[in-house]
Chain A
Amino acid sequence: MFMIPFLLTLFLPLLSSILLLFVPREKTQAIKISSLVFSLLTFAISLVLFFNFDHSNGGFQFVINTVWIKSLDAGFRIGLDGMSLMLVMLTTFISPIALLASFDSIKKREKEYYIMYMLLQFGMTGVFVALDLFLFYIFWEIILIPMYFIIGLWGGKNRIYAAVKFFIFTVVGSLFMLLAVVWLAYYTGSYILISNPQILLQNPDLLKYYPELSTDSLSLPTFTTNFLLIREASVLIPFDIQKWLFLAFALSFCIKVPLFPLHTWLADAHTEAPTPGSVILAGILLKMGTYGLIRFNLDLFPNAAFEYASIISWLAVIGIVYGALVAMVQTDVKRLVAFSSVSHLGFVVLGIFSMTNEGIQGAIIQMINHGLSTGMLFLCVGIIYERRHTRDIIEFGGLARVMPAFTVFFAIAMLASVGLPGLNGFVGEYLTLLGAFISPVLDSYLYTIIGATGVIFAACYLLLMFQKVMFGEITNPLNQNLSDITKREWVTLVPIVIFIVWIGIYPRTFLSVSESSTRELVIKLENIREGKAMEFPILREAKLNNDISDK
């Protein structure tokens, strides 16, 4: 019933980028308006999914399952759970806003730009909905091409270097992930399913995706990338193999997040990308990494995750502090915001690897928050860049006198990013730190104690920057006649402010969406950690029988 809205949410952007191919390049206005209309339409349609989502159900909803490559058991399988729904909503929400911001900042080769942009939106949505590792990988890589061109063609001075760095970093990670996908698919099919066919044959939820098995139970797939099937089987992967698979997936995701010390591409890419590119990059693209960590690393390789949780959490904590310290000494506003991203994403990773309900819920809401507040910060930086064509902090000062409305928006974005209670950033940071504090996996208060300093540092660098740029006397005569924000800029900023305040005051609306799926994941992790029960009932029974016969 919700198949059509779901498919439209995914494919409308692709459709629009194909249609744009046929619009003559001179008609820039038509190109802009039509891509905006498509993007808004996608948002409207995605709301249908949001309001029809069953919050009490922790599994995947609206699942669509079609066989694609039979001999590899790769399917077009998509579905949503609470976490992916939140991120899809973030994508469909931020995309039209950043698109609107492109109207000002993209002045050449508009046609190519909007084609790339819509392709990017398609890829990002796809990453969050894919329920097949092969499909996931394809969407993951589809993003590479448009983002590469957006940085390389419409970026700043050093754009080529930044674009290549972005490309190579991502490819290094993703090709190792591809290797892990192939190996995992092969291992699941040829080792686990063959010796434990009951995983599939006695699981009615999965069996419905394999109609041919009901007549011919011997034709089990020997190679499968079906996420739902691999998830059931993954409990049986021996630790030695889990370890390597975990590392291969984590490498790819941690580059994307980016986790310290893999963050070096981010500052360049952010600084050189055009404003909307930075908004998308910070707002959505980085979330693909943290999403992948939860979806694949925690869910598929829990034992390896326990093993590496402390290392990754330490890297996250280092990232929080390091990102903040580096941000403090930046002279370029955009670079400063970029490094603040490293710091903020550290909280997300810390929350994820606390493996507690609070931590993961906090991580999910922090992903949304970061998308909103950092996205808005980049928009604000873009606004002053449009007017002055520089982002150097010392070039500014006293902007509050000439741009009062802008000051308010910039202040809200900045305070949300600092984590002021009452705005959204606080909720996420509090929950992730709380999660790390009570986490039995991490089992140390140090993470929280050191991580919390990141909040203080954030206040330091953001407030200092804000003070230098906005307050004081106007020292630079060029700033004397800056115009305040335009109507279009109002339209881009107001929706974000609404959600920043909403999440800050009443986060329940959004936390409740991902509550059930997070709880299910955490319960699974706890059970596996305590070695109490297996995920699927059949195996649990088998285990019980073994226990009895042992006695």
Chain B
Amino acid sequence: MQEWILSLPLILISGFAIIAMLLIVFIGRRNAPIMYLSLFALITTALSSLYTLSIPNEIIKSSVNPDSIFANMLIYGNYSAFFDIIFCLAGVLTILASQNYLHQEEYEHKEYYVLILYAVAGMMFISHSNNLLMLFIGIETMSITFYILAGYFRFEERSVESSLKYFLLGAFATGFLVYGIALLYGATGTLDLSLINSKVIQGDIHYTYLIIGLGLLFIGLAFKVAAFPFHMWAPDVYEGAPTPITGFMSTAGKAAALVAFIIIAKNVIDINSIYPEIAIGSSTLTMIVAFLAGATMLLGNIVALVQKSVKRMLAYSSIAHAGYLLMGIVANNPRGWAGIAFYATVYLFMQIGAFVIIGIIEKKSFKYLNLSDYSGLSKTKPALAALMALFMFSLAGIPPMAGFFGKYYLFVAAIEAGYLWLTIIAVISSIISMYFYIGLIIYMYFNEPADDRPQINVGLSSITLVISSLGILFFGIFPHLLIDFASKLF
């Protein structure tokens, strides 16, 4: 029985998603019921995850019997429940921000909300997976919904292009993923991650296949987090997708891919192994990931410098943030994983918040996205400008905004793992990033407003903005609540 309770979040989100999809047929023209149903689904799922999080670890361990219901396919509690909550929160914030946006774009359909539920379900399966197959199913569920959501504006060329590009490259990356999983299976004879872990510890594996398989898996995942050199799709997709979806993909989607990274790195990578082949292979792979992380940060921030569109600028900055987050994978210790958990949470607030504001200011068919359209925003819409400035300062990592603490924690993790050089690169790229973050603030605060500013409505998005900004300030002043909690999760 305990397993059913522990897997309640997964059951709830999948069940609600299916019910909502079926309901669309019966419900007629109105969109609101499905939206509220989706919100309800996400909130109940988050609450049930919160409940599983409160169950002590010993009870979870003792109650899970691998031979019964789910055959050790899933894990419960701890970080999986924590990430469930993050994903649900991202879904809630995105749906709240979407209604108004879709309305002004004249594109509101009920399926949109349900697709978000499916995406969240996929992400939750990733964070709960204890089996490479499960992991793969989760990643694909998430990715396929993203392909659809990216092309949601089906009469807009840019949106369709983004979807197609995402799909083709994504399918290619999936190939790497599957091939990597196959090789891992070949190397270890099992898909069960905890079994793989014990086999790695015992050295009872085929080393070459293991390392090659891991490398291929990492390529597939690096594509999902948009790390250099697999980032090519990200700016176009992020630009073409509906703005709230961009916020959703670049936060929750990225976090989910990083969870997959954590799960694999945690179980398979072991640089201190007594078997030299595993140790050398692991440290080589870690070193490669470190190089990729450094290159990702630098590339994202440098290219963001020259962007004229705010949406594209933040798309590149989101690539850079993937680089910061990968520092936690490089460190590959509990501090690093906790750093990812913390940073993913605060990144969610600041990135979704920023994209919601972009969505509010944006007008139909990708208009009003340029930096110059933000001129003098502080005079015409002081509250929006202040919030945007808050998000920018947080993304730039200036204390006391929460973004700083996330960065700090990841720096600590990387330095403790001996990657001083990577931290130096992170610092340099942070300095570069300051320039474009405060560049937007210059437009909003120091420039005079343009004359032809269209009307803007905020609607339900205001709830998203309030939650995001409060989250940033709250975790900026009381970061210990989340950091100390996150460091107990792994």
Bitwise, A175-211 to B at CB < 8 A (1) or not (0) is 1101100110110001000000000000000000000
Q: Is A68 an interface residue (CB 8 A)?
A: yes
B binding-site residues for A, Cβ under 8 Å = 335, 338, 393, 398-400, 404, 408-409, 411-412, 415-416, 420, 423-424, 427, 430-431, 434-435, 438, 442, 445-446, 479-480, 483-484, 487
Beyond the given A152-B446, A153-B446, could you list 13 further A-B residue pairs with CB under 8 A, ordered by the A residue number?
A68-B480, A69-B483, A69-B484, A71-B335, A71-B487, A72-B412, A138-B404, A152-B442, A163-B446, A178-B427, A182-B412, A185-B412, A190-B416
Partner of A223, one of B416, B424, B431: B416
B residues near A153, Cβ cutoff 8 Å: 445-446
Report the bound CA distance from A279 to B257 in whole Å. 50
Contact residues of A: prevailing secondary structure: helix
Partner of A175, one of B431, B435, B487: B431
Closest A residue by C-beta to B442: A160
Give the CA-CA distance A164 to B404 in the complex, in Å. 20
CA gap between A163 and B423 in the complex, in Å:
27
Residue pair A179, B398 in contact (C-beta under 8 Å) = no
Cβ-closest chain B residue relative to A70: B484
Contacts of B423 in A (CB 8 A): 179, 182
Picked from A138, A142, A167, A182, the residue with its CB within 8 Å of the CB of B411 is A182
| A168 sits at the interface (CB 8 A) | yes
**Which chain A residue has the least Cβ–Cβ distance from B482?**
A69
**Candidates A149, A168, A178; contact of B408 at CB < 8 Å:** A178
Are A138 and B442 interface neighbours, CB within 8 A? no
Give Cα distance in the complex from A37 to B412, angstroms: 42
In the complex, 17 of the A-B residue pairs with CB atoms within 8 angstroms, ordered by the A residue number, are A69-B483, A71-B484, A137-B399, A138-B399, A145-B393, A145-B398, A149-B445, A152-B446, A160-B446, A171-B431, A178-B411, A178-B427, A179-B427, A182-B423, A183-B415, A186-B412, A186-B416
Q: Which residues of A contact B335 (CB under 8 A)?
A: 71
Please report A residues at the B interface, Cβ cutoff 8 Å: 68-72, 134, 137-138, 141-142, 144-145, 148-149, 152-153, 159-160, 163-164, 167-168, 171-172, 175-176, 178-179, 182-183, 185-186, 190, 223
Contacts of A185 in B (CB 8 A): 412
In the bound complex, CA of A241 to CA of B443 (Å): 42
Is there an interface contact between B434 and A171, defined as CB atoms closer than 8 Å? yes
Q: How far is the CA of A500 from the CA of B465 in the complex (A)?
A: 50
A163→B441 CA distance, assembly (Å): 11
The interface residues of chain B lying within 8 Å CB-to-CB of A69 are 479-480, 483-484
Would you give the shortest CB distance from A65 to chain B, in whole angstroms? 15
Q: Is the CB of A144 within 8 A of B487?
A: no
When A70-B480, A142-B399, A160-B446 are in contact, do A167 and B434 touch as well, CB less than 8 Å? yes
On whether the beta carbons of B398 and A186 are closer than 8 Å, the reply is: no
Complex: how many Å from CA A108 to CA B399?
27
Q: Are A182 and B399 in touch, CB under 8 angstroms?
A: no
Question: Whose C-beta in chain B lies nearest to the C-beta of A222?
Answer: B416
**Residues of chain A within 8 A of B415, CB atoms compared:** 182-183, 186
With A167-B438, A172-B431 already in contact, the answer to whether A179 and B424 are too (CB < 8 A) is yes
Complex CA gap A149/B480 in Å reads: 29
Give the complex CA separation of A499 and B218 in angstroms.
Answer: 66
Q: List chain A residues, Cβ under 8 A from B393.
A: 145
A186 to B338 Cα, complex, angstroms: 17
The docked-state distance in angstroms from the alpha carbon of A160 to that of B375 is 14
**Could you say which residues of chain A place their CB within 8 Å of the CB of B424?**
179
